[in-house]
Structure 1
Amino acid sequence: MQLLDGAPASAADLQPLALTGFGHFTTMRVERGGVRGLARHLARLARDCRTVFRAELDIATARDQLRAAIADEPDPVIVRVTVFDPRLGVERPGAEARPRVLMTPRPAAPARPPALRVRTVRFARELPAVKHTGLFGALLARAEAQRDGWDDAVFADDAGRLAEGPTWNLGFVRDGDVVWPAADALPGVTAAVLDDALRAHSVPSSTAAVTPADLPRMDAAFATNAGFGVRPIASIDGVAWDPAHPALERLETAYLGIPLEQV
């Protein structure tokens, strides 16, 4: 059930968000009543609320509302938690904010989606440190890539450095090590908890600039987000990899081994 501050949300409740799109969110996959990286998701909500609204978010209450939102949902379920203030219009978005919390559950996609074929697009996310609701540019890049026969897009900055996808973080495997691209990108919770798990398993990881010229030297590529965990990337532009590379299976095993934090 879609809940706004713990109560059923009506169309009128959602109209201000639809009209202005001024807010921020996080998305998590809930399995057996738990979430990988729950504390990080909640910390993101609190941090972004301070940035966007200059207000404090009651995380304990939000957690209670999340528990209520999943009570009657199938397992597993994806829940998007959106923070917005319906009183803030386009004329005075800087007025004193009283943020509200919207819980939107939806059925979880298959745990092992097919590998992605993506193309590079010159694009920079606006305020990448915040997971905000302004997704038009990112989704347009995805739409245009799909219309041209690709599965998705991957963003490159003005220096040609690869950064991320529209709704996922990007990673590579090179000589057994995991390489995270060094470029402005949304700091993903799934990428962070996966990196923690890799370090716990003594799998080396590092951050380095990656350009299209570096792709032939990579052994594998992958995407991460809360919905699917680790997803193989079969190709970027004209460079292809084996989506069944053993390193990717090890990454998925490490991710699935991350303990669930109970809601």
Structure 2
Amino acid sequence: MATLNGKPVSPDELLTLALVNVGHFTSMRVDDGSIRGLPLHMERLTKDCKAVWGADLDTERVRDFVRQALDGPTQPCVVRVTIYDPKVDMGHPADAGEPHVLVTVRGAGAMPPAPLRARSMLYERDLPEVKHVGLFGVLHTRRSAQLAGFDDALFIGREGLVSEGGTWNVGFVDQNGTVVWPQAPVLPGVTMALLQQRAEHRIATVTLEQAKGMAAAFATNTSIGVRALAAIDDTELPTEHPVLDRLRETYLSVPGERP
């Protein structure tokens, strides 16, 4: 299901998004009709709309479109809100600045999914603070990791520091049982923010060697909640840890809000 500004979207209206690929989005898991961290998702859309389009965004209008799209689905699903301008032109992107709201809905998987095996790869996202639609580099590294027998890529910056995964933030549990979030240019994930608000943690630089020496590691995003990492490269990591259990319980205890 896909709507643009609350109406069924046509192929022509999607053509610019497919060919020029400029825009930003947020994805929200919906359980029992409610969304954890909904205000944070709206804040992200507002901030990114200003950064990408130099425009203000009416989040009440966005919530109306989301409510409309969710009128019917009862099973867990993921609703994605993409903000783009169908009139953007590759030769003159500065002329665009009239954001439209594309809402799509897809089914959601079980949470948390099975632990993942990550391959470390040198990669830094363009404009990492914005959740933009430019996903070629992210998906290329994911594909490369999968072709090498892993599930996904763990990004390492040019200075040798761990940053994030392709579509997830990464966190660690050190040998003292403290949650550690990498200090690096990363997308400020909503799930990460909700956990940081509710669970003791520290933020510090993490090298690849340090990451492999942690007591546990995990990925977070709205679709998966808290997902254990089973390995980084050829280093196996425990997928069961009391801190991981507490993080999952903490996240699931966050009350949802209806759009």
Common fold: TM-score over 0.5: yes
Q: Partner of 2:30 in structure 1? A: 30
More moved, 120-129 vs 95-104 = 95-104
Shift of the alpha carbon at 1:98? 0.8
Alignment-derived partner of residue 219 in structure 2: 223
CA contact (8 A) 1:49 1:56 kept: yes
Greater Cα offset, 161-170 or 107-116: 107-116
Residue 89 of structure 1, CA deviation: 1.1
CA displacement at 1:227 relative to structure 2: 0.5
Give the drift of 1:112.
2.2
The answer for the alignment partner of 1:20 in structure 2 is 20
How far off its partner does 1:96 sit? 4.3
Alpha-carbon distance in 1 for matches of 2:160, 2:97? 38
What are the Cα deviations for residues 31-52 of structure 1, in whole angstroms up to 9, with x where unaligned? 1221111000001001000000
Question: Is residue 235 of structure 2 the alignment partner of residue 234 of structure 1?
Answer: no
For 2:119 and 2:96, the matched residues in 1 are separated by: 42
User: What's 2:250 paired with?
Assistant: 254
The CA distance in 1 between the partners of 2:114 and 2:218, in whole Å, is: 11
Is this contact kept in 1: 2:33–2:74, CA < 8 A? no
| Equivalent residue letter for 1:13 | E
Match of residue 137 from structure 2: 137
Which segments of 5 or more consecutive residues in structure 1 lack a partner in the other structure? 199-203
Aligned to 1:187: 188
What CA RMSD, in Å, does the superposition of the two structures yield over aligned residues?
Answer: 1.0
Q: Once the 2 structures are TM-superposed, how far is the Cα of residue 74 of structure 1 from its aligned partner?
A: 3.3
Deviation readout 1:39-91 (Å, 9 max, x if unpaired): 00001001000000000111100001000011122321101110000001101
Distance 1:77 1:259 in 2: 17
Corresponding residue number in structure 2 for 1:62: 62
Instruction: Report the counterpart of residue 205 of structure 1 in structure 2.
Output: 201
Q: Is the 8 A contact 1:121 1:155 kept in 2?
A: yes
In the alignment, structure 2 segments of 5+ residues that lack a partner are none
Aligned residue-pair number: 258
Q: Which moved more, 1:152-161 or 1:238-247?
A: 238-247
* CA drift at 1:216: 4.3
Contact kept? 1:74, 1:107, Cα under 8 Å: no
Bigger drift between 171-180 and 238-247 goes to 238-247
Instruction: Using structure 1 for the length normalisation, give the TM-score.
Output: 0.96
CA drift at 1:111: 1.3
8 A Cα contact 1:197 1:258, kept in partner? no
> Structure 2 length as normaliser, TM-score?
0.97
Q: What SS does the corresponding residue of 1:28 show, helix, strand or coil? A: strand
Indicate conservation of the 8 Å contact 2:183/2:205, yes or no: yes
| 1:22 match: secondary structure | coil
Q: Deviation of residue 126 (structure 1)? A: 0.1
